[in-house]
């Protein structure tokens, strides 16, 4: 089913910075190979505890209603739970009929639980079904963000979108991003430069600050318009 690599996390599931494991999965849109089938885009893989459950239903409706925004950021959505394909199809048909929302992204059918176990989505303290995990994976197949929510709490889809946009902005601009970016109360949508690591780099940063190239509080705390 998968190929373990030296970059896999200590428990076998991918951590931030690891290559996402090679997985052949059955979905409502046919067989897919992760991450290779998404090599030209980001993908957002999220698990839910089970089909025909109320919080999961609200999440699927929420993700579908924001799907165009993910696609504008070159990201594809993929769901997962330890249910059969037929259950996924029946559930999404119910969502379409009762809530007038047609789910347009694939859902992995993981009846055996092997995929969920490999990705660390089953937590003993939360029972035998999957918790609400989220993996953001970039076009190089690298895991860039991992989130876990308990079953009792639905995900904040705004935060998943914000994280995706923030990661892409960080890559493009070579900056870190402050809390609540792009709506930080004190610094707005500015980026943060990495602190210098040597005396020479400190001197260079101070020269740049004197030249008013950046908005700086100190050589280790320097902001950049992006």
DSSP-derived pairing of the beta strands 75-81 and 42-47: parallel
Rounded Cα gap, residues 137 and 221, in angstroms? 29
Q: Does 148 participate in catalysis according to the annotation?
A: no
Exposure letters 117-141 (e unless 16+ CB within 10 A, then b): ebbbbbeeebeebbbbbbbbbbeeb
* Three-state SS at 98: helix
**Catalytic hit among 56, 115, 131, 164:** 56
11: tokens are 């428990």
Catalytic residues: 56
């Amino acid at each position: 089913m998968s190929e373990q690599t030296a970059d896999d996390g200590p428990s076998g599931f991918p951590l931030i910075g690891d290559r996402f494991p090679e997985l052949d999965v059955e979905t409502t849109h046919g067989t897919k190979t992760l991450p290779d089938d998404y090599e030209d885009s980001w993908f957002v893989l999220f698990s839910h505890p089970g089909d025909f459950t109320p919080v999961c239903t609200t999440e699927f409706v929420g993700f579908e209603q924001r799907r165009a925004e993910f696609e504008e950021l070159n990201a594809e959505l993929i769901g997962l739970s330890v249910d059969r394909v037929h259950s996924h199809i029946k559930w999404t048909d119910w969502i379409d009929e009762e809530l007038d929302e047609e789910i347009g992204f694939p859902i992995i059918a993981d009846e055996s639980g092997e995929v969920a176990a490999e990705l660390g989505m089953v937590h003993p303290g939360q029972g035998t079904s999957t918790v609400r995990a989220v993996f953001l994976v970039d076009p190089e197949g690298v895991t860039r963000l991992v989130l876990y929510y308990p079953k009792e709490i639905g995900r904040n889809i705004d935060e998943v979108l914000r994280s995706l946009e923030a990661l892409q902005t960080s890559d493009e601009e070579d900056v870190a991003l402050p809390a609540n970016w792009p709506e930080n109360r004190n610094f707005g949508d500015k980026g943060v430069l990495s602190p210098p690591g040597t005396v020479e780099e400190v001197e260079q940063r101070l020269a740049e600050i004197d030249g008013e190239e950046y908005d700086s509080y100190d050589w280790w705390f320097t902001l950049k318009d992006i």
